[in-house]
Amino acid sequence: MDRRSALRNLGWGAGALVVTPTIMSILQSCKEAGPTFTPLFVSPAQGHALRSMVDLIIPNDEQVPGAVALGVHEFVDLYWKEVLASDISELEDPFMKPSLTKEQDFIKNAFANFEATFKSTFNKELADGKPEEFDQLLAKYLRASKEEKLGYDQALYAYLGELENNPSASFDSDAQNYYLLSSIRGLTVMGWKNSETIGETVLWYDPVPGQYKGCIPLSEAGNGKDMSL
């Protein structure tokens, strides 16, 4: 399966996130990556890891720019800073029980845990990490077996349950890494698919959609490509 086909099958990973006007404005502010990346939410070392992993998730090829070329790593960092709640009170909802975690702290703690995992695995600082080392950790967690993913889910539920009575509850290290890297993958796919360049040149783009036609040849409906909104 080529990279473009695989990305179409990854649509569910981005579909769990609602693309609001706020998110689109953040994405549009990160159109192209510059030569340097100065993160606003994570540390410089974590920014290096983030950029490397985003590039591994959707790299460049001969026809299509990858995620880093479109500044998606900057989008992920800004999304965490501008969209995630920094305090539990920001998550209060009259119809739903508020989250027990501060979303920004959840990401910061998860990245600190990932940094510790990287150091113990490769005996070096995160800032000195190489693509092949980040690729090894991405493969370990994102290609985990169904049984391993079930274990990560159970660890998350156990952590949230303990958190109700113990604010200092600890989260299983592997499960924490899994949810961090899953978040990065989902945001990377969403940011890449919703960028202006990909929307207009790679996906099925129709700036003025016409009437609904329920039975037409696939060739008249983007040849199976997702439609750019």
SS3 70: helix
Give the chain's mean pLDDT.
78
Per-residue pLDDT of 168-201, as tens digits, reads 889 999 999 999 999 999 999 988 888 777 666 6
SS3 198: helix
pTM above the 0.85 mark?
Answer: no
HSE value, Cβ hemisphere, 13 Å, CA-based, for 197: 17
Per-residue pLDDT of 33-59, as tens digits, reads 566 889 999 999 999 999 999 999 999
What is the reported pLDDT for 203?
61
User: Residue 111 in contact with residue 46, Cβ under 8 Å?
Assistant: yes
| Residue ranges covered by each domain of the chain | 3-88+97-204+217-224
What is the reported pLDDT for 11?
36
SS3 161: helix
Which residue type occupies 107? I
Short-list 21, 20, 13, 26, CA closest to 81: 26
What is the reported pLDDT for 63?
82
